Amino acid sequence: MTLQPRCEDVETAEGVALTVTGVAQVKIMTEKELLAVACEQFLGKNVQDIKNVVLQTLEGHLRSILGTLTVEQIYQDRDQFAKLVREVAAPDVGRMGIEILSFTIKDVYDKVDYLSSLGKTQTAVVQRDADIGVAEAERDAGIREAECKKEMLDVKFMADTKIADSKRAFELQKSAFSEEVNIKTAEAQLAYELQGAREQQKIRQEEIEIEVVQRKKQIAVEAQEILRTDKELIATVRRPAEAEAHRIQQIAEGEKVKQVLLAQAEAEKIRKLGEAEAAVIEAMGTAEAERMKLKAEAYQKYGDAAKMALVLEALPQIAAKIAAPLTKVDEIVVLSGDNSKVTSEVNRLLAELPASVHALTGVDLAKIPLIKKATGAQA
């Protein structure tokens, strides 16, 4: 259970009225004996009743402890104040089977601005001490700064004096060193030039010797290069040319043999085709002669009837040739006022047909019973 005990306007040991609020966490103990005590105290009461009993107990102890402490003790050390309340109240609530888990002071204030005045006084004291400390620090800093400046000037004067003495000694030593260096430099330069001339002479002599050796080497290399070039020409030009010529010759000979074989094969082919065609023509001629012979015998056997059959077979072809121009005509219009005119023209053409065939072929269609009957009917 969470409880918030509150004591208003409780006078402290100095008679200053304070209002203090706290927060307490409590629970019913679970040990068998203590749980029996809690049951004895609170059985039949609800949670709010239990809270009221514990809250009044805590507020009573809080009020009694406030009367024994000063405002400064309460305000500045709240943890100690809360610990004291918890230690004093714990036995009483423990006898009711209640355990205080925690107790803290939430707020402390008064209605006469005592705490704020206390804070202002303390603030003023701290501010005064701070100002005094700043002034003393600035004073000490000024004194120390002046002392440091004096020491600095003394050190600087001594340093400048030593620097001047050192610079003068340095310039004198530098002049002596420069003169000695110039002498040594001139001697070294002269010796260097002489030695350089000697070395140049040696170098030139060695260069001439090297050129002679290089020329000999070059002549030998050129001779070897000529031999190498000659061998390379033999290997890369003459022998490949000879190989290529031999290859071309072999190809030409192979091509020649190929052409000869192809010509022989073609001649054999033509001969075989000629023989086959001659055999075919001979067979066709024999067949045609046999056909003509049989045809002649048929004509001789059947006489006019055979001729008539030939004419009848040829008539559709003749009619087709005659009627061919008419296939290009889209429409034929007969100009006649008499409908019997068309019929008479058709009859006339049919009557003249045997005479036309007789004139063309020498065959008289009128002698054929069917044709004769047809023409007689038309008449």
- pLDDT, tens digit (0-9, with 9 covering 90-100), for 217-242: 888 888 887 887 777 777 776 677 77
Q: What average pLDDT score do residues 56-76 get?
A: 78
- In tens, the pLDDT along 281-339 reads 777 878 877 877 777 676 666 566 666 666 666 667 776 766 667 677 677 666 555 55
Closest CA to 63 of 39, 85, 30: 85
Mean pLDDT score, 94-111: 81
Token digits of residue 313: 């077979």
Residue 68: the pLDDT is: 78
> 2 pairs with which residues across the strands?
25
| Pairwise CA distance, residues 351 & 358, whole Å | 12
The percentage of the chain sitting over the pLDDT mark of 70, rounded to a whole number, equals: 73
pLDDT > 50? residue 371? no
- Helices (H) and strands (E) counted in the chain, each on its own, are 9, 4
Mapped onto helix, strand or coil, the DSSP state of residue 365 is helix
Where are the strands (E) in the chain, listed by range? 2-3, 6-11, 17-28, 98-109
pLDDT at site 378:
44
Measured CA to CA, the distance from residue 169 to residue 162 in angstroms comes to 11
| Residue predicted with more confidence, 85 or 113 | 85
* Mean pLDDT over the full length of the chain: 76
CA distance 267 to 263: 6
pLDDT given at position 121:
61
At 364 the pLDDT is 64
Please name each of the domains of the chain with its CATH number: 2-112 (3.30.479.30)
What is the predicted pLDDT for the residue at 377? 45
Q: What is the pLDDT of residues 132-184, one digit of tens each?
A: 877 788 888 888 888 888 888 888 888 888 888 888 888 888 788 778 888 88
**Cα separations in angstroms, 280 against 11, 112, 277, 287:** 157, 154, 5, 10
What would the two tokens of residue 149 be? 């400046």
Give tens-digit pLDDT for 2-55: 888 888 877 777 777 878 888 888 888 888 888 888 888 888 888 888 888 888
Which segment of 84-98, 157-171, 341-355 scores lowest on mean pLDDT?
Answer: 341-355
Q: What is the pLDDT of residue 20?
A: 84
Q: Would you tell me how many other CB atoms lie within 10 Å of the CB of residue 20?
A: 26
pLDDT at 376 over 70: no
